[in-house]
Amino acid sequence: MSYVHHVEQFYGLPAFTFSPDMSPEDLPGPASVAWRLQCEEMPREHDFWGRAEAYMARFTERVEPEKVRAVVLGFPWYNGERGCGHDELIALGPRLTGLEGLFLGDLEDDEDMISTMYLGNIAPVLDAFPGLRELAVRGGGGLEFPESGHENLRALRVESGGLPPAGVAQIAAAALPSLERLELWLGDENYGGGTTVEDLAPLLRGAGKPALRHLGLQNSPVQDELAAALAAAPVVAQLTSLSLSMGMLTDEGVEALLHGQPLTHLRELDLSHHFLSDAMMLRIWTELEPEGVRVNLTARQKDDGGNPEWGQEHGRYIAVAE
């Protein structure tokens, strides 16, 4: 199972790759798809900026930007050190007035490793699109998030093999009054991660996110510590679903969850890609499933993109690192 691939659907819309060679009659309605903007691969010595600029100009000529609801931005904008960054997207802000969904960094493993994709400061992007409702980003390198937050954002997902702790702390402290879904792939410190429970303290208290209903703290080597913190975290009471998937969760973490505050108000608890004993899986299923909680205990996949070197002394690894 691979976690890093081109999205096929985003913001409830099918992803459609724009090609500058397409005739107008080959293009779907501007509001009917999530527009994947992706240039073809170019040799290193070629002008990335010029090619990307020309591509974006053709897109705005062929598609009415004011009617576009969702954009999926891929190569070369977030392709490691050669990526072009946010500037061209921000420049389109006055024309993409209906944009509600945005995915930054839609690259697969053969285009760039998730651990080397650079994102930088997201604040100018949020400022440029005040009507944004869903933001997904892949990579996490250099991620900065404004603690002033965003008024209308309802869903935020950050996919990373190593999310900078400073960026995580900024998201945890950010004022996001409309946010309903938050999903953070925390990653390994060997790839820039290293988030601690302390970094997440405002989020665990529920500060600044009164509408939050789904929380995912995923892909972490310290999943047991996160589970123990969530066992007493005030934010859990307002959730309808919780995910501790993709990480190095063991019986110790689940034991802490079961001895903490009640979880029977949840509709779903996702613990997939775990390192639980058969006895513990049976126990958590027996305690929660009869109460109406859907528990996902899907086992880890050996070919799921994880690096077995990390945590190898215990035979454990996160799902996505490099």
**Pairwise CA distance, residues 197 & 230, whole Å:** 9
Residue 69: which of 110, 113, 33, 44 has the closest Cα? 33
pLDDT in the model for residue 304: 43
3-state secondary structure of 170: helix
Classify the phi-psi angles of 206: left when phi > 0, otherwise alpha if psi is within -120 to 50, otherwise beta: left
Q: What DSSP string describes 222-242?
A: THHHHHHHHTT-GGGGG-SEE
CB atoms within 10 A of CB 268: 15
* Residues sharing a CB contact under 8 Å with residue 245, sequence separation 6 or more, in sequence order: 216, 218, 219, 270, 271, 272, 273, 274, 296, 319
C-alpha–C-alpha distance, residues 303 and 232, integer Å: 34
Q: How far is CA 296 from CA 5, 271, 274, 284, in A?
A: 22, 6, 10, 10
DSSP conformation class of 261: S
**What pLDDT score does 307 carry?**
46
Omega prior to 76 cis, within 30 of 0: yes
Q: How far is CA 297 from CA 119, 229, 269, in A?
A: 32, 20, 9
pTM over 0.75: yes
- pLDDT tens over the chain, length 322 residues: 457 788 999 999 999 999 988 888 899 999 999 999 987 654 444 555 577 788 888 999 999 999 999 999 987 777 665 555 788 899 999 999 999 999 998 987 667 777 778 888 999 999 999 999 999 999 888 899 999 999 999 999 999 999 999 999 999 999 999 999 999 999 999 988 999 999 999 999 999 999 999 999 999 999 999 999 999 999 999 999 999 999 999 999 999 999 999 999 999 999 999 999 999 999 999 999 999 999 999 987 654 444 444 444 457 899 998 7
Question: What is the C-alpha to C-alpha distance for residues 231 and 269, in angstroms, rounded to an integer?
Answer: 13
**pLDDT recorded at residue 315:** 78
